[in-house]
Amino acid sequence: MGSGTWDTGVYDAAASYRRATGASAFAHSDSGATRVHPSLDPHGVAVRESRDGDDHPESLAIGVLFDVTGSMRNVPRGLQAKLPELLGLLLRKGYATDPQILFGAIGDATCDRAPLQVGQFESDNRMDDDLGRILLEGGGGGQMTESYELALYFMARHTVTDCWEKRRKRGYLFLMGDELAYAKVKKDEVRRIIGDTLEADIPVADIVAELQEKWHVYFIIPTGTFHGEDPKLRDFWRGLLGQHVLYLDDLDAVCETVALTVGLAEEAIDLAEGLNDLAEVGSAAGPSVSRALAPLDRGAVARSDVPLVVRDDVPRGTRRL
């Protein structure tokens, strides 16, 4: 997938129609749906593909998956409203030549109706369609855990990207939430939700290591949510991802944070240039993005063609290759 070209005019026309008719951009969820939309259901999906084509000869895979339980459930609405800005920064500002974006959502496999939702990699307005099909769960478990490990497993074993297969260039994966993952990818949940048969559970650290072979993995923690500033949350994700844990104090700044992180990692910009780009497009997210990405601008971000190795004996903010 990933053919076609984004058209802001088509996006604006759809938004105008919704305003005129009172329709929702998240019609599936707001219509009272209680199940995952068929096009986002991961069960039985062999792979989600990011492929080169005539329109996009140098495709770059970008995945963005949200926790949509509790206070996080409205984050996709904010990002949907800013899709033109995200694509504008990536494309018009030259952060990425041929981005192909996959959207998805994460819940809790122990209790939620939609523990995992995964769209397709898209380059055109179909990415807006995938966002609109997300079931905004709003539930979540009673503990400080969600099933992020299922999303990590799916992205590790059920995605194929030409940026990796052809050019050995890793894609970018962003997860956003304010909970811990479960300690293991449970084989029974994988069979029920994704359809794979595993011989044994997989420790979450092992699936992260497997995933990082093909993806730069970032976890965005919103600091204003219930668990956002809990040291246990910080330590858990830093233990898995090192400096690729980002703290964001404005939930409305997700789009800009994703775009500038890619721009920094692709070495298309430094942080000051990225913040100038935000000001140029009229975004008010600059201060929040600046605080979130300051550690990456100090050199902690990995170059896209160099493997990242996190070392426990290296002080935070230092990159050892």
What's this model's pTM, rounded to 2 decimal places? 0.88
pLDDT of the chain along its 321 residues, tens only?
A: 556 777 788 878 888 878 888 888 787 887 888 899 999 999 999 999 999 999 899 999 999 998 888 767 677 777 777 787 888 889 889 999 899 999 999 999 998 889 999 999 999 888 888 888 988 876 544 578 999 999 999 999 999 999 999 999 999 999 999 899 999 999 999 999 999 999 999 999 999 999 999 999 999 998 865 565 678 999 999 999 999 999 999 988 999 999 999 999 999 999 999 999 999 989 999 999 999 999 998 544 444 443 333 333 333 333 222
Closest residue by Cα to residue 188 from 197, 177, 175? 197
Domain 8-259 bears CATH identifier 3.40.50.410: yes
- Domain limits, the chain: 8-259
**DSSP β-bridge partners for residue 247:** 221
- Give the orientation angle of helix 271-280 with respect to helix 286-295, to 10 degrees: 160
